[in-house]
Structure 1
Amino acid sequence: MSALALAWRLAATAVSPLLPLHLRSRAARGKEIAERIPERYGHGAARPDGPLLWLHAASVGETVSILPLIDALTRAEPRLNLLVTTGTVTSATLLARRLPAQLAGRVTHRFVPLDVPAWVARFLDGWRPDAAVFVESELWPNLLTEAARRGIPLALVNARMSARSAGSWARAPGFARAVLSRFTLILAQGAEDAARLRALGAPDVRVPGNLKYAAPPLPVDTAALERLRALAAGRPVWLAASTHPGEEALALAAHRRLAPRHPGLLTIIVPRHPERGAEVAALAGDLPLARRSLGEDPGPDTAVLVADTLGELGLFYRLAALAFVGGSLVPHGGQNPLEPARLGCPVLLGPHTWNFAEILRRMEAAGGLTRIDPGTDPAGALAEAVSAMLTNEARARAQAEAALSIAAEEAGLPGRIAAALLPLLPTGDDRAAAPGGRGLATPETSGPPETGKVDDRV
């Protein structure tokens, strides 16, 4: 164990008496579910019979990306059970809403334990997963160390390593190499991520593609969509989606500039964090406004709809003529541009989009997005980009079609990744020695179907 890993282990143990207070404070702010806080200490194991694969997705984006992988895994191995852990309430809520009813008995959700050695040990000893899959960049040293100590095969899928993160890890090369060497298999989002991971000491990195390309279209309540379309009939509608602090004010300022040129304009703002709805509404000043969370509908004179609810982006991407995707006019790194692209909604983005650099290079090369150069007047630049889309339907349609073609390219990726992960589970004579002792029967009876074969990219 490296000196830094030992220091982390000792520090996590030392601070653990203070963490219950921290968790109670988070629960008071709606960031934890009070009755489920024991899960953060590793309690609540209820291991099902049969093979168990543990998937850990930190938050909403990672959870959305593994939904098609969950489907592919359960199709490929009908007896497989899945434990899915997340770290946020919103991701747990989203999983419950999006998980198909037929999988409810095979997929169990728990909140991931905090990275305290004793709590992690309690979690692993209770669940005894046969293999574990971490998503994107969830690299908790104690969790990985304890899993490896128990002989649990580990994989990192849709692995992401930004240049900034790689620079931080490179300052502790021995620690980085020790953490990454825990993984039997690493499947990176793109070539640049793979190169950075290899440079940090990851032993086996492959580049099958990005799971975010393969996510299904966001769901919609059809009745709610038809109702809102009727309420907004004949009006130009644009959307500021997944916005972060600072961007709502720009969207509202853009609305004030656009309204004289586009009579009846309806601006919809969906804050990335719905609990900010009241804060966003207060920014609107004298603009007539409705809040979705309060059950308010946009009337004929409503200028702004604040959609401060969870899980309804699919509704608003279908309703709007175009969408500005947030986190990109402020230095956050951008939110997922493929969500509107899959629904044929033209995409506008600011300059700060490093979270999706590779996807956006492909979309941009295909003519599938519009970049906003904020310059010295970001509200004006946003207003001009929105106006150009509202007044040129042919351009908007061509851009949306180009983006959709990129979004549709990786439909088979979940099956390929599932086929790469299933060999991590013990089979045949290996079952008794496996961490859970309940692996797959044999490769002949439980292997993935032909459609899930691993190709050269995995």
Structure 2
Amino acid sequence: MLLKIYRAITVLGTPIISMYLYYRKSIGKEDRDRHEERIGISRIPKPNGFLFWIHAASIGESLSVITLIENLLKSYPNSYLMITTGTITSAKILKDRLPDRAFHQYIPVDKPSYVSRFIEHWRPDVALWTESEFWPNIIFKTHKSEIPLLLLNGRISDKSYAKWQIAPSLMKNILSCFNLCLGQSEEDVIRLRKLGAPKVKNLGNLKFSVPPLPVDLKSLGVLQSQIINRPLWLATSTHYLEENMVTDIHKKLKNIHKDILTIIVPRQVNRGEKIARLLKNKNISFALRSLDNPITPDTQIYVADTMGELGLFFSLSDIVLMGKSLVPYGGQNPIEPLKFGCAVIHGPHMTNFRWICKEMKKHGCSVEVKTTLECSESISKLINKISDRKKMIQKGNKFIDSQSEVVSLVIGEILTILDSKYAPT
């Protein structure tokens, strides 16, 4: 019943969907050159050969499957792989990361006619859905077309779990379309099973397989020459509510470490000017990377308001505070700084990475803080006690190594399902 209502809304709502897409295009959130893909029309033909289809909502999900993509194409040398996402940013990043025989398309809006056009054009041999973006029309059409469907790195957040419990029959029908659901933690497996997934496993989290973020070594050398031997720390992917907290942490640290340098990488890079106004009002000297401001001895806070340079700043500072964790917004991926040999600090709000943070605490490679005072004390301790910082980093390396087999295990499950579907009779 709920599915019929949903389908009716997506059909009758065509004028609203069209206006919505037009509005997003007008504000730069849709790709003007490829907007037809959002209504299921592609300018390129389907390649001749076996076609994998991976859907990943945005940047984080996309990056988590890069190593998987490379290994799938190695396992099937005559195959191709299409990855779909819904954002311009993820498309730009994937353009530079995808291997040969892999290509990107935008996912169509979840309207039956758009979805049918997309599926009938591409006719993928297998569909691999990632994490937690469940579009009913796309999933049901894929299943109805007898395309094997797997959920990879499945995640059911607290918010999503509560939402889907309001419509349990719809979620049960959606999950029944999947041949296999792979949860990224035991908690996710339990939730998927309770929501109606018929076959669920936990093989680990694919985020551990993501290669380290790219680093421009020339830029790294320039920044290192400007910083010299100053103590520094990094607040990464900060939410706008946290930036005021970061300035408080900086002031506390400056009372102890007179030449401390704080680096802020905001989650939204277009917020550089707003952060600059905040720092100016607090009488804190700063430099903006987007304006090519150098770091001088007088620079107290360096605002890295540029896209795609997070790896550069993880290379620069081995003390990192995870953004969106001091405020209740779920946190950011702590695996990324661990891969650069960083000591990781996070606040109490890491609900999107609950299992990872639990394991990091168990391995002794992270510190949880609840207040700005605790945070400044933890940073100061890591600055002063180099041996403690090195031990923490070594434990982080061991934790990363302990999760190294995830991709091969996931590929094994994919190949098992493909063998059962396409084995000669």
Q: Normalising by the residue count of structure 2, what TM-score does the alignment of the two structures yield? A: 0.95
1:127 to 118, 122, 125: 122
> What residue in structure 1 maps to residue 78 of structure 2?
79
| CA shift digits 1:206-261 (9 cap, x unpaired) | 11111112222222111111121111111111100011121111112211222232
Tell me whether 1:414 sits opposite 2:407 in the alignment: yes
Tell me whether 1:299 sits opposite 2:296 in the alignment: yes
Shift of 1:423: 4.1
Are 1:163 and 1:196, in contact at CA under 8 Å, matched by a contact in 2?
Answer: no
Shift of 1:273: 1.9
Tell me whether 1:57 sits opposite 2:56 in the alignment: yes
Shift of 1:353: 0.6
| CA shift digits 1:354-377 (9 cap, x unpaired) | 111111111101111011112xxx
| CA shift digits 1:355-411 (9 cap, x unpaired) | 11111111101111011112xxxx333322222221221111111111221112122
2:6 to 5, 8, 31: 8
Are 1:265 and 1:303, in contact at CA under 8 Å, matched by a contact in 2?
Answer: yes
| Cα RMSD (Å) | 1.7
> What residue in structure 2 maps to residue 70 of structure 1?
69
2:349 to 349, 352, 357: 352
Shift of 1:295: 2.4
Q: In structure 2, the residue corresponding to 1:34 is in which secondary structure?
A: coil
Q: In structure 1, the residue corresponding to 2:33 is in which secondary structure?
A: helix
Shift of 1:266: 1.4
| CA shift digits 1:178-216 (9 cap, x unpaired) | 010000111111111111111111001011111112222
Distance across 2 between alignment mates of 1:23 and 1:408? 43
Sort the Cα spacing of 1:172 and 1:329 in 2 relative to 1 into closer, same or farther, 3 A: same
How many percent identity over aligned positions?
A: 39
1:333 to 316, 322, 330: 330
| CA shift digits 1:143-192 (9 cap, x unpaired) | 11111121111110001112332222122221111010000111111111
Shift of 1:88: 1.4
Shift of 1:283: 1.5
Distance across 2 between alignment mates of 1:233 and 1:22? 50
| CA shift digits 1:388-439 (9 cap, x unpaired) | 2212211111111112211121222212212221344479xx77xxxxxxxx
Are 2:232 and 2:263, in contact at CA under 8 Å, matched by a contact in 1?
Answer: yes
Q: Which amino acid aligns with 1:62?
A: E
Q: In structure 2, the residue corresponding to 1:284 is in which secondary structure?
A: helix
Distance across 1 between alignment mates of 2:32 and 2:275? 27
Number of residue pairs the alignment of both structures matches: 421
Are 1:157 and 1:188, in contact at CA under 8 Å, matched by a contact in 2?
Answer: yes
Distance across 1 between alignment mates of 2:418 and 2:80? 12
Q: Which has the higher contact order (CA 8 A, sep 6+)?
A: 1
> What residue in structure 2 maps to residue 238 of structure 1?
233
> What residue in structure 1 maps to residue 165 of structure 2?
170
Q: In structure 2, the residue corresponding to 1:267 is in which secondary structure?
A: strand
Are 2:52 and 2:81, in contact at CA under 8 Å, matched by a contact in 1?
Answer: yes
Distance across 1 between alignment mates of 2:58 and 2:23? 19
> What residue in structure 2 maps to residue 191 of structure 1?
186
Are 2:318 and 2:341, in contact at CA under 8 Å, matched by a contact in 1?
Answer: no
> What residue in structure 2 maps to residue 282 of structure 1?
277
> What residue in structure 2 maps to residue 384 of structure 1?
377
Sort the Cα spacing of 1:384 and 1:289 in 2 relative to 1 into closer, same or farther, 3 A: same
Distance across 2 between alignment mates of 1:84 and 1:231? 40
Sort the Cα spacing of 1:426 and 1:41 in 2 relative to 1 into closer, same or farther, 3 A: farther
| CA shift digits 1:279-303 (9 cap, x unpaired) | 2222211322222222222222111
Distance across 1 between alignment mates of 2:241 and 2:417? 45
> What residue in structure 1 maps to residue 41 of structure 2?
43
2:18 to 17, 20, 26: 20
1:242-261 equivalence runs, <5 A: 242-261=237-256
Shift of 1:21: 2.6
Sort the Cα spacing of 1:46 and 1:423 in 2 relative to 1 into closer, same or farther, 3 A: farther
1:394-413 equivalence runs, <5 A: 394-413=387-406
Q: Which amino acid aligns with 2:379?
A: V
Shift of 1:133: 0.5
1:33 to 24, 31, 38: 31
Q: Unaligned 5+ residue runs, structure 1?
A: 432-441, 444-458
Q: Which amino acid aligns with 2:67?
A: P
Distance across 1 between alignment mates of 2:271 and 2:37? 27
Are 1:130 and 1:426, in contact at CA under 8 Å, matched by a contact in 2?
Answer: no
